[in-house]
Structure 1
Amino acid sequence: MGTTKSSEDYLEAILVIRRLRGSCRNVDIAGRLGRSKPSVSKALSNLRAAGLVRMAGRDVLLTEEGERAASATLERHRFFERLLVESGVDAKTASAEACRMEHCLSEDSFRRLADRLAPETSAA
């Protein structure tokens, strides 16, 4: 798939916003990620060119491939966040650190770690 940390963050944000609100606009992404609207527009242009998002008016939609990438990133985030919280890390720190951790392992290494540490919650 070849997504970058930045594109994964955008895809994850779009997925979460759509789940919370049912729709997603550039301004929603900018607010969630703390980025400027021009930065979001540029990133969405790149994601559109990569076939990961599409636009329906002002609504940002994930393509099938974008949805897969966003779901995988969100799964990693939630796994690491839960692991950190259960280890005694405060929720705010756990979320921030999980955001960094979700990008640094290969899919194979993540699956092995998830299977080893939390087999009941990892997806096959």
Structure 2
Amino acid sequence: MKDHESEEMYLETILVLKGERPAVRSIDIADKLGYAKSSVSRGVSLLQDRGYIKVADDGFIDFTEAGAKKAETIYERHNVLTKLFVALGADTELAEANACRIEHVIDDGIFDLIKKYVDNKR
């Protein structure tokens, strides 16, 4: 895993997969992201080394407290930004794609302003 964005994509993907199925394995992440199994294996290992996930002997992945918090923060950014872009008139697919890129680089203060704005528009 070479950068911050990649780390966040893995965490977000694990969170989404955990919402879709009872257990998540590396192969599920590879399938969801379209990545090679070897790349995902390395990424999972790095997330484990950084204390974001635990991998059981049977290969099932679970978050640590820190990992769950970080994944939920990333996913919240994705959802709020998507809602903003859709509200501005973007189609959902385009909104999702742009939110996915922006969620990794947006400043916390700016995101908080956007979140307040979106929450007030509901």
TM-score, with length taken from structure 2: 0.89
Amino acid at match of 1:64: E
CA RMSD of superposed structures (Å): 1.6
**Counterpart residue number, 1:39:** 39
1:120 CA displacement: 4.6
1:43 CA displacement: 0.3
Distance 1:119 1:90 in 2: 20
**Counterpart residue number, 2:88:** 87
Distance 2:31 2:19 in 1: 16
**Counterpart residue number, 1:24:** 24
Runs (5+) with no aligned partner, structure 2: none
**Counterpart residue number, 1:60:** 61
Give the aligned length: 118
Q: Check whether the contact 2:84–2:118 (CA below 8 A) recurs between aligned residues.
A: no
Q: Could you list the per-position Cα deviations for residues 15-70 of structure 1 after superposition, in whole angstroms to 9, with x for gaps in the alignment?
A: 11011102111111111111111000000111000000111221111110000000
SS at match of 2:94: helix
Runs (5+) with no aligned partner, structure 1: none
Distance 2:119 2:92 in 1: 23
**Counterpart residue number, 1:99:** 100
Distance 2:38 2:104 in 1: 24
1:112 CA displacement: 2.4
TM-score, with length taken from structure 1: 0.88
Q: Check whether the contact 2:12–2:71 (CA below 8 A) recurs between aligned residues.
A: yes
**% same residue:** 36
Structure 1 runs, 4 residues or longer, greater than 4 Å off: none
